[in-house]
Structure 1
Amino acid sequence: MKKVLFVIPDKSYKSQDFVNAANKLGIDMVIVTDSEQAAQQLGAKNIFSMKFDHFSKEKLSNIPRDIDIAIPVDHSSVLFTSKLVEELGVNGNSFESVKNCLYKATTREKLTDINQLQPKFIKAKSLNEINKFREKINSKIIIKPNDGVASIGVMSVDNGESRDTEIVDIINSCSNKEVVVEEFFEGQEYAYEGYLKEGELKTIVIFEKPGDYSGPYFEEKIFIAPSDIDTEKVHEIQKVCQSACTELGLTFGPVHIEFKIINNKIFIIEVNPRTIGGLCSRSLNFNLFKNSLETVILSDLVNDKPMSLDLASNSTGVLMLPIPEEGVFKGIKNIEKANQIKEIVNIEISLPIGTYINKPPFSERYLGFVFANGQSNVETKNALIECEELLEPIIE
């Protein structure tokens, strides 16, 4: 039987989800984490604590050598996992391929090289460079940290609009003071969830992302599955995503790909060598046994047993509770009332009381997650919107 290595970062939303899936499938596992406390809580037999920002050959020597597969559990562990893949000689994505995904400019360059639909873009370290680019393309732009995560530090600027102070703040927030500035493409957003096995991409589900993603900030809010995209278009999306993964060098493990459909063409926003972020994967349950996303992935990657991908409900969705303002999080009102909405199945407040939170574009976490199942996507969406309107965050 194959043995899997999970790389679990401190403060991960879903530190337990892959572990639970592995236990359900009877998979032998090893865990590497950068938190000694998390190591104690997870309860697996073989747990090792290592700092992700310092690769220790000495600590690496303690890890068993009979591992077959290495999987990152969250975004902040994908790069370290790729180092372990190369050092241990196991199945997983290479360091170079993961870097290709994490650095936005590299992703743009590589996808442009294979003639995929991509925006005009530059790398910039100063307001002057950005303003010159804006004058040149004369259209709305979007600014992102080159090595950024999710929507942190992401902001759009309309043509002719001035946001110089905020732009400088974003540049200064970047680890290397470098941003990517792109021509902004309008269009409906979607999210592709799948996994790679021996380089072949397998589709699990495509999420709709209803809502306004025109900016200036880009906190994600609602994901609903299955999407209303027809089968022929789904095949085209998979083909484009496969091509992108191949060009970036990804070969093994889960992928979460954000994309838009623009004039019937597929525009890939970003490719992430991991599962969907936060607790969003908990919105997905497959077949009569209500298997989790993590169970589906591990069953094929580790046990070579693909599972049914029929969703357990007609429509399923998740709402990520947004951060309305900066301050100290004190709680949320009306949870009991929101739970009475028929389609709502769970409300999970994930942010500890007393946490200081930043407002967009620098908010790093969500207040919580709301899960719903409906008979249709419209029903699911309406329930999540009603729930958001009822819930009142207390921030002081």
Structure 2
Amino acid sequence: TYHSIIFPCQPLTKEEFNIASLYSSTLTDVGIGNKNYEEVQKIQSAVTGGISANFILLPNENRTEHSLAIKVTSKSLEKNENKMQDLMIEMVGNAKFTDKNRIKDMLTFIASDNDKSVIQNGHVLAMSNAAAQINNISSTNDIASGINFITNTGALAREINNDLSLNKYLELLKNIKSKIVSQPIFTFTSSSLDMDQTQLNFDFNSENTSQMPQSYFDIQEASIGWITGAQVSYCAEAFPTVDAFHEDAPALSVLGAVLRNGYLHSAIREKGGAYGAGAMQDSKNQVFKFFSYRDPKCTETFNEFRNSREWSLKGISQNQLDEGILGVISSIDKPLSPYGEAMNDFANNLDRKSIDQRLRFRALVKECSLKDLENVSRKYLFNESKKAVIAGENYSEEMKNLKFEIKNI
């Protein structure tokens, strides 16, 4: 049985939001009630296949604002499913943030994992930081899980041996806990049992579910060149576009696939020597993004991003369009496990994407023409863009010449 429970959370302050992802990562590894973390770990291992938690932003009905919630996810054998659910609910309501040594250790583990992830996910982090300069929702997401989260966490880990810093951190964790409502607003279950055979409780008293919107955070002003230990660069450029419900979103999605396969792969990977490159429409953050991965070049890569946009106005063939459409359709239609299908549907419902809207998006992708690609390229990809680079020390002069503000990760 796979199970997720979503608990609403009152709006967090900027200080609290900075450590929200630390809270969710620490929540599953501390004591609960009168049990210490080792006892909780034994119970977790005995009845579940692990428990994870993360904060999510839930759009309101007309998608003008988001409210905050924490999603707790686990899986267990069917005979243990009610024990699993009880443990998940108890964890959210009664987690103890009092064991200073455990919380310090957890912060150090997370900061260390973050540092390793920069090399692996540099392109994702660079795209997120470029988008953070475009709109508030992208900026908020970057603070929650992007390069700004990694740098904030690293700074916190370096200061945590100072009692004042540690006490402040513990206080913020307790503040966040006090803002999480203990009655779930949504549950998700994927099981081979019928609903009337399961031991799970689906009947929660969640009448007071009116949620205050979470404030977004200010758009990042500067384009930053982030210095890391890598010998390569990760370049990203982002343009403001539209959400998934806009009529241009399907054509932008196809354009991303066409630019990647028709131009960027050859220019940046095969000729330029990078491990990878691409472009994509990110409807959730309302941006169109270009990226390179493990790239020996930097200035030349941004030139190739520009060249690919010029190419999109006159160089796309019918075959390349067909290949792009097929790529987007196959990613929509790709077969998932029964759990994967159900979870995908649940996530779409949380994003307020109805089945009709999803089918309409798919139909518009299929109908996409060469003229549509030219139109959306001209409309969105020739406006002012924002850039970000994550690279080794040896790129710092080049990044300064490209007018990046230099910061160490």
TM-score (norm: length of structure 2): 0.27
Select the structure of larger CA radius of gyration: 2
TM-score, normalising length from structure 1?
Answer: 0.28
**More helix by percentage:** 2
More strand by share: 1
Q: Relative contact order (alpha carbons < 8 A, sep ≥ 6): 1 or 2 greater? A: 2
